[in-house]
Amino acid sequence: MNIPEVDLAYAAGIVDGEGSIVAHVAEGLYGHQTMAHVTVANTNFELVEWFRITFGGRVKPLKIRNKRCKIVYQWIISSKDEIKEFLILVRPYLKVKSEQARFMLILVENIGYRGIAEKDKMKIVKKEILVEKLHDLNKRGVDQESEVEDGFN
């Protein structure tokens, strides 16, 4: 992939502000599986389509919860190869989600391909730890423990 540096920096900025780097573990029909995704959601179709054309993946509209709101489009990559290639390209430019990208790169190196359940207990534990670390990095809001006492409570 020969993508101009300015486009990689732009993509990283969009991921930092409008994107998600997430994973979850599920016990499915075929056993223990780890799912990973990198997404960008935006009301501008041209933006998410640019991601699809430039980096692969797919674009889908999200369900509208309020009829007065614009349609939100989501670019998503979920194959381990696409995730790895994309994050290696944009990670040097990420400011907010660099740690999520680092843990996701470790995770995708340790997950199998779709439809293949993990049987090795040590690998399962390692993946669960990495997924939990991603969840911790993606938490919203203020941690109760880190809230500063302001005298108004």
Q: Tens digits of per-residue pLDDT, 99-144?
A: 999 999 998 887 765 545 666 667 767 777 777 877 788 776 665 4
Report the pLDDT value the prediction gives residue 35, as an integer from 0 to 100: 83
The hierarchical CATH code for the domain 5-134 is 3.10.28.10
Q: Compare 58 and 131 and report the one with higher pLDDT.
A: 58
Task: Write out the H or E segment, with its range, that includes residue 21.
Answer: strand 19-28
Give the range among 6-10, 39-43, 67-71, 87-91 with minimum mean pLDDT.
Answer: 67-71
Work out the pLDDT band at 69, boundaries 50, 70, 90.
confident
Task: Answer for the pair 71, 43: CB distance below 8 angstroms, yes or no.
Answer: yes
Domain ranges for the chain? 5-134
In sequence order, what are the beta bridge partners of 31? 28
Task: Answer for the pair 46, 139: CB distance below 8 angstroms, yes or no.
Answer: no
Contacts of 131 by beta carbon, 8 Å cutoff, 6+ apart: 23, 24, 25, 34, 107
pTM, entire model: 0.79
